[in-house]
Amino acid sequence: MTSIVRIVIGSIAAICVLTAPELRGQPATVSVAVTVVDSTRQIESLFASALRQLGDVRVVTVGENPDYVLSGVVVCNPSCDKLSTYSIALRLYSPVRESLAEFLAEATMRRLGIDDLARQDSVRATLWSFIGSLEETHQAWVATWGRNAYERAIREMVREIDSTCFEKQRMFSRLFQLAPSDSAIRRRLTADYRGRSWQC
């Protein structure tokens, strides 16, 4: 088992990139979990609604292996009964997906020339115990929103996330769906991608 783990750890960064859905030409649907601690549940609901309105974004639970998680805490000032402002702290991050452990186990067993599904499943479980808690933070925000401005602020924040994170996944999907003859389009998309400032 030690040799198997060593092989995986040695190349895990490259394999993570190669297993990203956007690099495999899959549809660019993005899944997002929204977990905002909010006593009124107003903010969490508005974030979920704004994300769905993007059209190609699915709002899921954390247990459904989301591409991204938007988590945070919202506090009513001075109280929710006498609301003047919302104070918020939010973080957008990507959790490691269990499918990565499955891919790593399969690739490692193939590299070692071992054809044993039971052992492969054991390797997958071991790898998941190592990487299952990993996550990558993309953006974080701390803000105060007035009671007449928070809905607009949420829509603007979702647009920012969409343009600096989700659009990257869409561009990769378009690139990998192009035919070899579409070289001019590929060059334009590649130039556009390299010229953008991404947060994810």
Phi-psi region of 102 (alpha: psi -120 to 50; beta: other; left: phi over 0): alpha
The pLDDT of residue 11: 43
The pLDDT of residue 80: 87
| pTM summary value | 0.72
Do the Cβ atoms of 33 and 70 come closer than 8 Å?
yes
What is the full DSSP assignment across 60-89?
E-GGG--SEEEEEEEEEES-STT-SEEEEE
| pLDDT means over runs of 10, the chain (200 residues) | 45 43 56 91 94 95 92 93 93 83 78 79 76 82 94 96 90 76 79 84
Q: Where are the domains of the chain?
A: 2-194
Residue whose pair of structure tokens reads 């003859």 in the numeric block: 181
Phi-psi region of 114 (alpha: psi -120 to 50; beta: other; left: phi over 0): beta
Query: Where do runs of H (alpha helix) occur along the chain?
Result: 2-18, 42-52, 98-112, 117-131, 150-161, 167-177, 183-194
Phi-psi region of 6 (alpha: psi -120 to 50; beta: other; left: phi over 0): alpha
Q: Which two tokens stand for residue 129?
A: 């115990």
